[in-house]
Structure 1
Amino acid sequence: MGNINSYLKHKRSTIKNIPEFDRIESEQERQDKLLDYYLSTDVDSIDRLHMYHFFKRYIFQGNFSSPIEDKLIKGECKVLDIGCGAGTWLLDLANEYENSYFFGVDIKPIFPQEIKPNNLEFIEADITNRLPFHDNAFDFAHVEGMSLIFTPDQWDFILSELIRVTKPGGYIEVAGRRNGHVGDGPVFRKMYDAIWAFRSKRNIDTDLIYNLDSKFELQSNIGKVHRIEKDVIMGPNGGKIGLVIQDISISYFTSEMTIKNLSEVIGISEEEFKNIIEKDLFEEFKQTSPRIFHVRFWAQKQLS
């Protein structure tokens, strides 16, 4: 993880021109669009996504768990990442596996559009409609961090699309995060209860990540679904990596959109919410050991 700061410094030049949604007429429409996408598109939020990528790579000791690396090294391997966001996962892989080809799809173009490897292409598209690719086009299809973005019905469609565009014998991998309320304190739990309440209003199943592998197994043309799970203690009691995920979480909680939305859910002022995060939550982390769980599911598309 020693190269995080230099990587982010290099990438800042690629994300200066972030869309401001000028064509959306009202502020309410703008907020609805942003909420649909969920993640803010300001520079701090994109930097947080970059840092979070390196955190996940560290705890899993790799960018993926599917047995696809030999093919990536050999070359001519085609990889798809849907909901690619700032594109950090793809940028990392495209630089490491120069002889393979990488494609990222997202509804908002916050990914770098000019400074990127020649073997990487980003496409702006709504993945809840239909992926803009032919059947059996990719050796590896990947989606991460979207378990609290899509509704259960959307997940059924997205999984079927991932399978459709993956070659027989290729791999599909889904990754996400869940909070098990293990070792947390009342402040941290209050914050995440507010997040769950906010997302539930958008018909998001906040428990979906717990059984997403079962939903995966119900899809046709799919082999055994493998599950890999890692947990980390957030905060100083989790060591250096615990402080990293604490900083990422605090950065999220103190973002403008999060403060606005969650303060309304809890029923307090934005200033009160910010004080709780910057003072009470920091102090609570010193006394507690909340466990954060990250999970990956992967499976092979069956040969015809």
Structure 2
Amino acid sequence: MGNKNSHSKQEQLVIKNIQEFNQIESEKERHEKLLEYYFSNDTDSIDRFHVFHFLKQHIFQSNFSSPIEDKLIKGEYKVLEIGCGPGTWLLDLSSKYDNSNFVGIDIEPIFPQEIKPNNVEFIKASISNGLSFGDNEFDFTHIELLRLFYTVDQWDFILTELIRVTKPGGYIEVSGRRRENVVRAPIFCKIMDTIYASGSRRNLDTNLIYNLKSKFELQSNLGNVHRTEENFVIGPNGGKIGMIAQDLALGYFKAEPLVKTLSEEMGVSKEEYKNMIEKDLLEEFKQSCSESIYVRIWTQKLS
């Protein structure tokens, strides 16, 4: 991941470009500029986090779906992100809504630790151990793409914690990738099924985004549960978005320790697995219309 100096330069670059992009008045132009800037073949995990953030922002045309825009602009709104990674989502919001405050937690401290806006705080912590915040502390709590990290029982606890730290009248939003009824070509389907099967054997909630709406509806202190989703085709047939998604997918599948895990799960050598990713899957993306579907679910805490 590089040394401390390279991280500092990267943090400055991310913040600088987010601030510059936020000065573009046209939202459509802003998203296009972001996509052009982050169209990269770099497969480093932190770079993928940054790229993936702006891809999701583009397909949804927003950083969130909960109705909180006016409150963020007004200020004194407090936002919590669980599993913030390098902090790209929070840095983007903090520069656009500079009168509000943002807190991110992650078990891996790859977020900026020295160079960051004054209205952002990052904390090394794991939600599975319980959040250190008091009850009713945040106006908006946000978590995404962590279904392959926590077990079914852990997710029940995590959702309880999200509700606990959210203020009455505040919103909770969870997003992630849908695995049901998704069009996938054979090789891509085999890889994803292997990932899900491996997760299921470890009791991970691979169907979380499918079950989440019903989990929220069981809570007596939550309002109506809303759901929205967007999809795109991976590879050349999906245009610019598709090519970015292809780079992200290939980089992810080729990263360690996924190479070791998936090659063992599939019963092939690492070399055979890498050849499948770099040649067979790449060719399949060119010839097919495998899709990816992302879902956002949000609700309001009533009391």
Distance 2:120 2:133 in 1: 15
Moved more, 193-202 or 254-263: 193-202
1: CA distance, partners of 2:150 / 2:177: 14
Partner of 1:248: 248
Q: Measure the CA separation in 2 of the matches of 1:183 and 1:257.
A: 27
- The TM-score, its normalising length taken from structure 1, stands at 0.84
Q: Give the residue type in structure 1 aligned to 2:142.
A: H
1:258 matches 2:222: no
* Alignment-derived partner of residue 124 in structure 1: 124
The Cα of 1:226 is off from its aligned counterpart by: 0.3
1:43 offset after TM fit, Å? 8.2
Matched AA of 2:85: G
Corresponding residue SS for 1:179:
coil
Aligned residue number for residue 268 of structure 1: 268
Q: 1:12 to 1:193 in 2, by over 3 A?
A: farther
Aligned to 2:214: 214
Cα distance in 2 for partners of 1:192, 1:203 equals 17
Q: TM-score, normalised by structure 2?
A: 0.85
The amino acid across from 1:274 in the alignment is K
Q: AA paired with 1:62?
A: S
Q: What does residue range 152-191 of structure 1 map to in structure 2 within 5 Å?
A: 152-180=152-180, 182-191=182-191
Please report how far the alpha carbon of residue 49 of structure 1 lies from its aligned counterpart in structure 2 after TM superposition.
Answer: 0.8
Are residues 218 and 48 of structure 1, via their aligned partners in 2, closer, same or farther at CA, if it must alter by over 3 Å? same
Q: Which runs of 5+ in 1 are unaligned?
A: 1-7, 15-41
What letter is aligned with 2:122?
F
1:69-111 deviation digits (Å, cap 9, x = unpaired): 1111111100000111111111111111111000001112111
Contact 2:179–2:207, Cα closer than 8 Å, also in 1: no
Which whole-Å CA distance do the structure 2 matches of 1:296 and 1:125 have between them? 24
Residue in structure 2 matched with residue 31 of structure 1 by the alignment: none
51 and 70 in structure 1: CA distance in 2 versus 1, 3 angstrom threshold: same
Where does residue 5 of structure 1 map in the other structure? none
On the 8 A contact 1:145/1:177 being kept in 2, the answer is yes
Identity of aligned residues (%): 63
After superposition, what is the alpha-carbon deviation per residue over 1:6-43, rounded to whole angstroms, capped at 9, x for unaligned? xx9743779xxxxxxxxxxxxxxxxxxxxxxxxxxx98
Could you tell me which residue of structure 1 aligns to residue 137 of structure 2? 137
Unaligned runs of 5+ in 2: 1-7, 15-41
Structure 1 residues 110 and 138, CA gap change in structure 2 (3 angstroms): same
Equivalent in the alignment of 1:53: 53
- For residues 299 and 184 of structure 1, the distance between their equivalents in structure 2, rounded to whole angstroms, comes to 30
1:48-127 to structure 2, matched below 5 A, reads 48-127=48-127
| Other structure's SS at 2:259 match | helix
Q: CA deviation at 1:183?
A: 3.2
Q: 1:166 to 1:46 in 2, by over 3 A?
A: same
User: Cα–Cα, structure 1 residues 9 and 187, in superposed 2: closer, same or farther, change >3 Å?
Assistant: farther
Shift of 1:211: 2.0
* Residue 161 of structure 2 corresponds to residue 151 of structure 1: no
Q: CA RMSD in A?
A: 1.9
Distance verdict in 2 for CA 1:256–1:142, change over 3 Å: same
Alpha-carbon distance in 2 for matches of 1:204, 1:10: 33
Q: Deviation of residue 119 (structure 1)?
A: 0.4
